Amino acid sequence: MSAHEHRLNLLWLQSGGCGGCSMSLLGAEAPSLLTALDGAGIEVLWHPALSAENGTDVLDRFERILRGELVLDILCLEGAVMRGPGGSGLFHVLAGTGRPMAAWLEALAPRARHVLAVGSCAAFGGISSGGGNPTEACGLQYEGDEPGGLLGEAFHSRSGLPVVNVAGCPVHPNWVLETLAQLSLDGLDATALDPLNRPRSYTDHLVHHGCPRNEFYEYKASAEHMSELGCMMEHLGCMGTQAHADCNTRLWNGEGSCLRGGFACINCTRPGFEEPGHVFGLTRKIAGIPVGLPTDMPKAWYVALGSLAKAATPPRLKQNAVADHIVVPPKTGDKT
């Protein structure tokens, strides 16, 4: 059992989304999900997929929270809030209650010591808000990159924090568990959140850090088609130099990431990633220059650096960049 004297009660709700963040969370390892929660002193009051309780037992817990009889330390939402049609919230009614999930969230959030939006849908609307947003989906405290959402820009939980946006599509399990551990130790304050209220523990990094294609990036040796080994920024839509996350240094299941699997980064931790204004897998360019340059590199610098790098590209990288396997290995060191 956990050494924590006071265990924190966590309630996890799901709304408009695919459930992928819960699926990702189940993949937590070293420690596993249940071990990590126990170690942080967290008791799961209810999770729609992981808990055995249902029906009246669950609703009784909700009512006890609202009456102040049951302490709610952490409220987590996975999936976007469905406000439609016409702001009624009736696109998602919590089964057995006749009450929209949006209304339950508005009632429960002020009771919670901390409120977490788990995944980009819950944080910003995400994929659930795409395509003209017919369901009027939004995040808990953001609508896209604009503050507001369901709870409004001024909302703060009982801890004094805004909604903590653990964004990603899906989130890495350790992003969630690390944030919960910080909350359990009172170690998460406003300085630990970035301007979009995402935990800086993972958003102070870029997906570009640790990318296995970094050598190709340095020399601007670019892949031209999917499955090739070269850098995917120039032609194939990779946004790893702009994406705030540590995917290539904190791997899924100890060894995986989008880029390690051969897929370009689509910057899924940011608002609006679901509609980038161009086809996924293709890089938007103006006058031949990628629009999505590294966030802290002036365009003139990039052009100058790119020209020099391409002029100095080793033949090994030029050939390997457009191959689906290593064609030319690195030379062995000279004998001394």
Question: How does pLDDT run across 69-91, given as a tens digit for each residue?
Answer: 999 999 999 999 999 999 999 99
Question: How does pLDDT run across 286-321, given as a tens digit for each residue?
Answer: 777 777 677 777 777 777 777 888 888 999 999 999
Query: What share of the chain in percent tops pLDDT 90?
Result: 79
Q: Which two tokens stand for residue 108?
A: 């429960």
Question: Is the per-residue pLDDT at 2 higher than 50?
Answer: no
Tell me the Ramachandran region of residue 152: left when phi exceeds 0, alpha when psi lies from -120 to 50, beta otherwise. Answer: left
297 or 99, which is more confident: 99
Which domains are present in the chain?
8-203 (3.40.50.700), 205-325 (4.10.480.10)
What confidence tier does 335 reach under pLDDT thresholds 50, 70, 90? low
Q: What is the pTM of this model?
A: 0.92
- Rounded distance between C-alpha atoms, residue 230 and residue 201, angstroms: 29
Alpha carbon separation from 110 to 45, 142, 153 (Å, rounded): 17, 17, 14
How does DSSP classify residue 277? S
What confidence tier does 334 reach under pLDDT thresholds 50, 70, 90? low
- The number of residues making up the chain comes to 336
Q: What residues have CB less than 8 Å from 187, skipping those under 6 apart?
A: 181
Tell me the Ramachandran region of residue 61: left when phi exceeds 0, alpha when psi lies from -120 to 50, beta otherwise. Answer: alpha
Q: Mean pLDDT, the chain, as a whole number? A: 92
Question: Is the per-residue pLDDT at 221 higher than 50?
Answer: yes
Q: Which residue, among 49, 25, 20, 79, has the nearest Cα to 252 in the 3D structure? A: 25
What confidence tier does 3 reach under pLDDT thresholds 50, 70, 90? very low
Question: Is the per-residue pLDDT at 120 higher than 70?
Answer: yes
